[in-house]
Every structure is written in structure tokens, then in C-alpha cells.
Amino acid sequence: MDSPPDRDRAPLMFDVIIAGCGPTGAMLAAELRLHEVRVLVLEKETEPVSTVRIVGLHIRSIELMAMRGLLERIREHGRQRPAGGFFAAINKPAPKRLDTAHAYLLGIPQPVIVHLLEEHAIQLGAQVRRGCAVADLEQDDEGVTVKLADGEQLRSRYLVGCDGGRSTVRKLLGVGFPGEPSRTETLMGEMEVGVPQEEIAAKVTDISGTHQRFRLRPSGDGTYSVVVPAAAVTDAAEPPTLEDFRRQLRTIAGTDFGVHSPRWLSRFGDATRLAERYRVGRVLLAGDAAHIHPPTGGQGLNLGVQDAFNLGWKLAAHIRGWAPETLLDTYHTERHPVAQDVLDNTRAQMELHSTEPGPQALRRLLTELMDFDEVNRCLIEKITGIGIRYDFGEGPDLLGRRLPDIDVKHGRLYDLLHRGRGLLLDRTQRLTTGGWTDRVDYLADPTAALDVPCLLLRPDGHVAWIGDDQQDLDDHLSRWFGTPAH
């Protein structure tokens, strides 16, 4: 809670302290360092995560990696698969001509993506300290005092909790986390099997029609991805045992398929919660600290990384001194509804996994409806994040949406966004960024693959303005990028 300034208080050591060095925290640190913000990342674990769980980068997250020049480095460690069959595991192909240059899912081991993003942040100048757990915090008009579990105290101008669904930062803030506790629990892992593929395929075909939470399919390198309902809901954070899998496989399928040599084992519930506020003064929340939901559709990591992209440039703008007064508050107003939508679609997907007659009838109906391109397209765009539109007021449909990686003069659009700055794309060659050249780049390109005269992109790739009038442009530059420099 806030307290009066203390003249004897330690000086501000950092601009931003981030609690948690998962994908969200590491990505946020890198985004802040693009603007020379002094960043310290605190990670309570002494060693990087070792669980070799495969996670998926959806289209929007892949686009964001391309915007920062990270995609080629990340893609060489992943496996691409078509962008279809995500919604409630209903097996429908992706709609044709998705509006993206990256119409695929990128499966990548979780330790690898965490390492690559952390490495990227460190290369940009972020500091990472492991074995450091946040125990308490206190904020005042000048900054935040962070007390660690060993008694050390640190000072920064802002603190961001990226410390997971059991977030200490969120609890210390007293921010409500309403929603529903887990009603069901599912076991998930990768392991080898001891029976022929033909026997597995026959069993899977026989069971999959009635047990949507059961899956057994090859995952590469001789291993199988195994998903099976758990016997009961637990409160334990520890992973399940191989015997837990064998027992549940025998219950569901009548055989344990001879599973052995697990690569990783985990459990997840369907708890669904959303923080009431993403910001309290100088403390903010992002990633799982702000929202938790079932992994159905594979949206969790993506939602957190996209939080980081939305928050990074706005927080940096406040620290660098050029942010409009209300800019930082737009983090909550933009991202909170996005998380609410993800929570709703995961709730719906979990219902469609039920073995009860009503949900199964609804699943059959939706399966038919997804043969219509518009229905399938809507659900794919929702899951992959490319359908997001922030509310920037009245204007063309493109306003508030992300701009795909279009062809521009001498290359691709996303190659111009590596520095995390705004961009004015001017097909008329008549406009100028004026006093905002220290924050906004300019490209005059009459050949750009657009059907609008000019547009202004924010650093996160969303369209902030469309038009051809200089005064109107200046007004919007002020709205998003503050007072022009003199």
C-alpha cells in the first residue's frame, strides 16, 4: 500500500523490476530494453525450468517474434503444423487465405522458448537474478520498494508481476482474482509406448468419440503425447507419476498401452480466473498473474507474451517521459477484455469436451457449423489472436487491428519494426512525423500493399490512425506518442 515518501529511503536502483522470468517476464524485459529502460528480472527458481513440455506459438505471437527479428532464431527449434483443429480439438482444417504470412502453429519445447527470450533480454541489457523471491512490496509517489525473501530490499520506479497464477505480487496488492476453481483435472505428458501403432490407432478411434479429453498420438522421436482425465481434482503443484497415467489409461481405454520412459509429466485443471485490475499505482500484472484458464486451444503462453508487447512500449514511454497521461491505463482497458474473451472461449471448449449428452450434441452441431468458412474463420482468428481489435473509436475496420506483414519498398513491413518504435506508412508521400521523429519512424511508399492512403502503427503493430490529413495525423501522434520534441 502507498506510504509517505521517506527522505532516508534508498535511491531508485532500477526503472522496472519484473517478478518472474517466464516467457511473459522475459519478453517484457526485452521490450523495455529496446527503449533503454533499466530492468531487473527476479526469478524465484534457482535453475531454468527443466520440464520438456511442448508449447505452441500461435499466429499472432509468431508475428510479434517476426516484428522483433526473433522468428528465425526461434523457428529453427520448433515444429510447424497447420493452423487448424484448435477449437475444442474439433478436427477442421484452417480456412483458406488467412490474412497472415505465418498461417501455422509453431510447437517448441517450453524450456527452449524461455531460454531464447531470456537470452534476447540479456543481450539487450536486462539483468536477471535467480533464486530471488519477492516477499513484500511497498509503493509511494516515487517508486516501489521490493523486499526479497532473504531480507534484501530493492527500489524501482515500477514493478510488474509476471509471477504466474499463484502470483505473490497480485496477492500483496490485494487485487481480486474472481472466477471458478477447478472442477476437472487432466493428465498430460510425453512418453514411449509398448504396443504397435495399429493397436493404438484402433483404440483411439474407438474412444475419441466419447472421451474428448483423451488423446494418444505420436509427438516425434519415438514418443507419444498422452492426455487422459485424472482420477480427481487435487491441489498439488507436483507433477503426476507414471503410475497415475497407467491407472487412468486402464480406466478409460482398458489398457495402459505399455507406457514407459516419460519425457515429462504434468497436470492441469480448468480453473478460470481474471484479475479485477491490471494496475494499482506503480505496480502492474501480466501473463498468468493476471489471468488463468485451461490450456484448451493452447492460448495461455500467447496471451501472456502479447500482454508484454502491449505493456512494454507504454511503460517505457512513461519512464522516458513522453507518454500521454492516460497511455499506461490503456494497458488494462485493452488487454483485460482480450483475456475475458480467452476465458470465455476456453470455458466453452471445456464444456464441449464433456461426455454428457447435451454438450456432445452441441459439439456435433458446432462441428457441422464449422464447415461454413465464416464460422471456422471466426474461431481460428479468435484462438490465434489475429482477430483482436482494440477500441480506438469510430473508423475503418482496420483501425485498432494488427497489420499483417505486408510487402513494402525493399522488403517486408515487420523488418521495419525491430526497434520497437511507431511507424508512419505514407502512400501519398506528403505527410511527416514532425516533432515525433525520436519515437516514430517514417516510410514513404506508394507501392505498399494497402488499400488506404496512410496509416500510423503503434510499436505493437496495431493500427492507431488511418487517413491523409496532416493535422488529423498530428492529433493522433499526440494521443499515442505525447508532446512533440522541440
pLDDT tens digit sequence for 54-76? 789 999 999 999 999 999 999 99
Q: Which residues form the domain of 197?
A: 185-269
Residue 3, domain member (yes or no): no
Residue 378, domain member (yes or no): yes
Residue 9, domain member (yes or no): no
Residues 380 and 343 placed together within one structural domain of the fold: yes
pLDDT band at 235 (very low <50, low <70, confident <90, very high): low
Output the average pLDDT for the chain: 93
Q: Is the pLDDT of residue 402 over 90?
A: yes
pTM value is: 0.93
Q: What percent of the chain has pLDDT over 70?
A: 97
Residues 254 and 371 placed together within one structural domain of the fold: no
At 331-358, the pLDDT tens digits run 999 999 999 999 999 999 999 988 889 9
Residues 153 and 208 placed together within one structural domain of the fold: no
pLDDT band at 1 (very low <50, low <70, confident <90, very high): very low
Domain's final residue, options 226, 246, 269: 269
Residues 247 and 279 placed together within one structural domain of the fold: no
Residues 290 and 417 placed together within one structural domain of the fold: no
Residue 432, domain member (yes or no): yes
**The domain that contains 262 carries what CATH number?**
3.30.70.2450
Q: Is the pLDDT of residue 89 over 90?
A: no
Domain's final residue, options 243, 269, 295: 269
Domain's final residue, options 253, 269, 285: 269
Residues 362 and 425 placed together within one structural domain of the fold: no
**The domain that contains 437 carries what CATH number?**
3.40.30.120
Amino acid at 214: F
Q: Considering only residues 232 and 465, tell me which one the structure prediction assigns the higher pLDDT.
A: 465
pLDDT band at 10 (very low <50, low <70, confident <90, very high): low
For range 223-247, the mean pLDDT: 87
Residues 46 and 128 placed together within one structural domain of the fold: yes
Q: Is the pLDDT of residue 268 over 90?
A: no
pLDDT given at position 222: 84
Residue 5, domain member (yes or no): no
Residues 84 and 140 placed together within one structural domain of the fold: yes
pLDDT band at 52 (very low <50, low <70, confident <90, very high): low
pLDDT given at position 5: 45
Residues 43 and 142 placed together within one structural domain of the fold: yes
Instruction: State how many domains the chain has.
Output: 3
Give the integer Cα–Cα distance in Å for 457 and 424: 6
**The domain that contains 86 carries what CATH number?**
3.50.50.60
Residue 394, domain member (yes or no): no
Residues 18 and 162 placed together within one structural domain of the fold: yes
Residue 486, domain member (yes or no): no
Residue 352, domain member (yes or no): yes
Residues 223 and 292 placed together within one structural domain of the fold: no
Residues 293 and 199 placed together within one structural domain of the fold: no
